[in-house]
Amino acid sequence: MTTKAGNKTKNRAPMVFDMTSDECIWSKAGVVAPRLCHNAFDCLSCSFDKAIQRKRVHGWYAGGLEQPMEEYWTSANWQNTAPHKRYCRHMLTGRVPFKLCPNHYACAKCAYDQMLDDEGLAQPAAEVRLASAAGFEVPPEYYLHPGHTWARVEYGGRVRIGLDDLAARLFGPADEFRLPQLGMAVTGGGKELAFSRSGHQARAASPIEGVVVARNPRVLENPAEANKLPYGEGWLLLVEPIRLQRDLKGMHSGEESVAWMEQESQRLSDLITHDTGQRLAATGGRMVPDIYGAVPGLDWQHLVHEFL
């Protein structure tokens, strides 16, 4: 594997939207040697978590087979964690700024844990942080696909996908979206996100391979919605990924996204100049919300071929 140290997007651990930690919570708790979460905090489907839980459960229920749970927590691993480093799991996942575990990680019996679970229901939807890149917006916490779609890893390891700001503004408001049905497989790179505008067709690639588990009803009913808030309410699909690590590897995130989008902006600007014979000077500002509609003489098919 060609992972470069310090290059965030090429790490094996996916960046999970709305979570601040990427270290396995068992590792942060000091129970095991340092390791990153490789499963988007979808602990339920994580074989490593299963192994740890099994150890706890066997100790607890089948007492005698292995160490009883109480002993496990008084074992060397646990003792080696200084009490001031026994961070609460809600701190490890970034939900609260600071909290120590008073309870040997017996979260099911913890009053504080229950209180936070209650509060969780009232949390407003997370806001999307946006950076600007030569007239376009870029969310550094998302993954951007070279075919101008985005992926955002969410709670439970599900991945939300949509069109990026360049695709949204370049092709403008669509008349129709034809998205794969619930339960259908998307192949990753397959051009499965179809939309049309005044008889012109376009197909964007799903950035992620997996199974479609939700479709955005707002966009299906009002296709122009995808154009307004492409990184928020204009999302297209929620996908249960199959090869998340592999898919994320070919995508941009963080600072790299901004640099890439600036290049793409330049490429678009060159192309428009060429296609229309109309000189464009980059004078800052933001791209108009409907480039195709605003610039006469653009060739739809050419844009699709170049950018999707």
What is the rounded distance in angstroms from the CA atom of residue 226 to the CA atom of residue 163? 8
- Is residue 228 within 8 Å of 210, Cβ to Cβ? no
What is the rounded distance in angstroms from the CA atom of residue 170 to the CA atom of residue 173? 9
Q: What are phi and psi of 85, to 5 degrees?
A: -110, 5
Considering the rule CB under 8 A, would residue 102 count as an interface residue with other proteins?
no
Q: Which is nearer to other proteins, 100 or 280 (CB)?
A: 100
Binding region for other proteins (CB under 8 A) out of 3-11, 152-160, 241-249, 271-279: 152-160
In the chain, the largest separation of any two C-alpha atoms, in whole Å, equals 81
Q: Which is nearer to other proteins, 124 or 297 (CB)?
A: 124
Q: Which is nearer to other proteins, 63 or 94 (CB)?
A: 94
Q: What are phi and psi of 200, to 5 degrees?
A: -85, 135
Look at residues 131, 134, 146, 135 and name the one whose alpha carbon lies nearest to residue 205: 146
Look at residues 2, 19, 3 and name the one whose alpha carbon lies nearest to residue 11: 3
Name residues whose C-beta falls within 8 Å of residue 95's C-beta, 6 or more positions apart in sequence.
116, 120
Within residues 154-213, the interface with other proteins by CB under 8 A covers: 154-156, 158, 160, 181-184, 211, 213
Nearest approach, Cβ of residue 46 and other proteins (Å): 8
Question: Contact with other proteins (CB under 8 A): which of 105, 142, 150, 195?
Answer: 105
Nearest approach, Cβ of residue 175 and other proteins (Å): 19
Question: Contact with other proteins (CB under 8 A): which of 4, 6, 33, 221?
Answer: 221
Nearest approach, Cβ of residue 297 and other proteins (Å): 39
Question: Contact with other proteins (CB under 8 A): which of 90, 148, 197, 252?
Answer: 90
Question: Contact with other proteins (CB under 8 A): which of 3, 114, 198, 301?
Answer: 114
Binding region for other proteins (CB under 8 A) out of 44-52, 137-145, 268-276, 298-306: 44-52
Look at residues 113, 146, 149, 148 and name the one whose alpha carbon lies nearest to residue 250: 146
What dihedral angle (degrees, nearest 10) is formed by the CA atoms of 154, 160, 162, 165?
Answer: 0
Interface ranges with other proteins (CB under 8 A) = 19, 25-26, 29, 41-44, 46, 49, 52-53, 56, 89-90, 93, 95, 105-108, 113-115, 117-122, 125, 154-156, 158, 160, 181-184, 211, 213-218, 221, 235, 238, 240
